[in-house]
Amino acid sequence: MSKFKSRLGAGAFVLILSGMVCKVLGALFRLPLTNLLGIEGIGVFQLIMSLYSFALVVTCGGITNSLSKLISSARARNDDGKIGVYLKRAILISVGIGLAIGIVFLLFGRMIGNFQGIGSNKSYLLFVFMLPLGAGLSAFRGFFQGYENMLPTAISQVVEQVFKFVFGLLFAFYFGRMGIAEGVFGAFLGITLSEIVSIVFLFVLFFVKSKNFKHLSDMSQLKFARKEFDKANFPLMLSASILPLVNAFDGLVIIQQLAKAGFSSGFATKLFGLQTGVVGAILNFPLIISMAVTTTLLPNISYLISRGTGGKNTIERGIKILLFLILPATFGMVAVSKPLFVLVYKDLNGAMLETAYQLMFYGGFSIIFTAVMQYLVMLLQANGEFRFILLITAFGGFAKAMLSFFLSAVPTINIFALVLGNIALSSIVCILALSKLKRIVSFRLTFSEVFTLLFGTLCMFLVVATFINCNYFHPILNLLIGVGLGVVVYIVLTTPFILKIVSRKNLNQTKKIV
């Protein structure tokens, strides 16, 4: 069905485009914010953000995906009456949890800040507003994604990032004149206002859509629909909470552990800010590809499974396209990172610049594993394996926490322990997910396909890294030409792979399935 395929391609394109815009706006937000607050200030910002990210995932980590899957499955079964029940249940639970956690931070924020080693910070007071708002955003986005409509999610994300950029920097500058803590508070105040604008936009769209709702009147069906949602949501919420929980754990203990490695508190905070705020802001850019692919495919594959087809060719082509895009995007970012850091971060030089580049290089491998992990977990979600996802994510999270905690106190490893922990988590989840999926769905990658992609990526990396270090032209022009040459080299070397993906035989097989 060409209409189905066009929706799939359009949805992925819309999310990739909006993701790129959001990442660019996020990077543009972090650059002046880093210059406003300094490396130590961005470290404080990231320490608080790590706890906010964890609290947000506990609040609504499973909401978007569980709603997307359940609504698409209900549509496939012509069971539209349950959709309103799913949404109401999602909002009630997530907003309630968000408000409760926000009150905890309202009461104990001062104590948490002192424990982290950053002193009292008013930013934690804003969590009581930010968390319920984030819960509402997740619920409405999941609702629209269940209808395979990615446009509301994409627009709301861009709207949120635009207002975050404007309000965040404005308030960070205004309050930052009174000190680092006040500047960080201003940035979080701007984020709060951006969430308000975004949720108002989604609510208006939902109000128009909700006029066509079918309502369940049978109490037994109502209870069953609520149980269906809880069965899907709570394992996903817990599994989604694990990575932010580990990151929050890192934020709580990393300064003390780096102190054991011989670093001062101020320098340790700078290292943490370098890894999470500077390197992380750029290195995570390629993950918009995997997020777009998995977000788009989840409701579609769930729909196919509910209709009695497994979508083998759709799954196979999805993983191939993901690897084709994520490999050059990741190591292309690594290749240009050092001159990029010099251009955009004034405070980075000498040893700190070299450390940032090394964090980028080793972190590139964690990004690849993370992208594959997201895809495999999406397949498990589509097949209803929620408890198994929780189990393997918990196992990987425990491994990451232990590695990060103990290795960060080793002087020769220090902040690189966070990168090693990320690689351990994603690789463990990938291995365990594959072992389970082999018994549920069948898809394969040949050795020649993998070799073609890896060889093309390596050659692209060497061409870009070599050219931009020759200093033929202005640094910005060097970057642009180097990236252009890298794209040409990669496309030429992976042409057999591209032709195989777009071959008429593959397209006809996909048509038969969808």
Q: Token pair for residue 4?
A: 């189905």
Q: What is the pLDDT of residue 506?
A: 52
B/e letters for 331-354, b = 16+ CB within 10 Å, e = fewer, are bbbbbbbbbbbeebbeebeeebbe
Among 178, 245, 179, 499, which Cα is nearest to 396's?
Answer: 245
Helical pair 63-76 and 350-382, crossing angle rounded to 10 deg: 30
Tell which wins on pLDDT, 379 or 215: 379
Place of tokens 């087809």: 309
When pLDDT is averaged across residues 312-321 and rounded to a whole number, the result is 82
**Segment 404-461, tens digit of pLDDT:** 899 988 998 998 999 999 999 999 999 999 988 887 777 778 888 999 999 999 999 9
Assign 367 a pLDDT band (cuts: 50, 70, 90).
very high
Question: What local confidence, expressed as pLDDT, does residue 147 receive?
Answer: 81
Tell me the pLDDT band of 216, cut-offs 50, 70 and 90.
low
- Residue 494 falls in which region: left (phi positive, over 0), alpha (psi -120 to 50) or beta: alpha
Contacts of 268 (CB under 8 A, 6+ apart): 254, 255, 258, 259
**DSSP 8-state class, residue 118:** S
Q: Is the pTM of this model over 0.75?
A: no
Residues in the chain: 514
Q: Mean pLDDT score of the chain, rounded to an integer?
A: 82
What is the secondary structure of 131-161 as a DSSP string?
Answer: HHHHHHHHHHHHHHHHTT--HHHHHHHHHHH
The answer for 37, left when phi > 0, alpha when psi is -120 to 50, beta otherwise, is alpha
At 250, list the tokens.
């890192």
Q: What is the pLDDT of residue 87?
A: 84
pLDDT more than 70, % of the chain = 89
Higher pLDDT, 319 or 230: 319
User: How sure is the predictor about 503, in pLDDT bands with cuts at 50, 70 and 90?
Assistant: low
Q: Is the dihedral of CA 289, 294, 299, 301 positive or negative?
A: positive
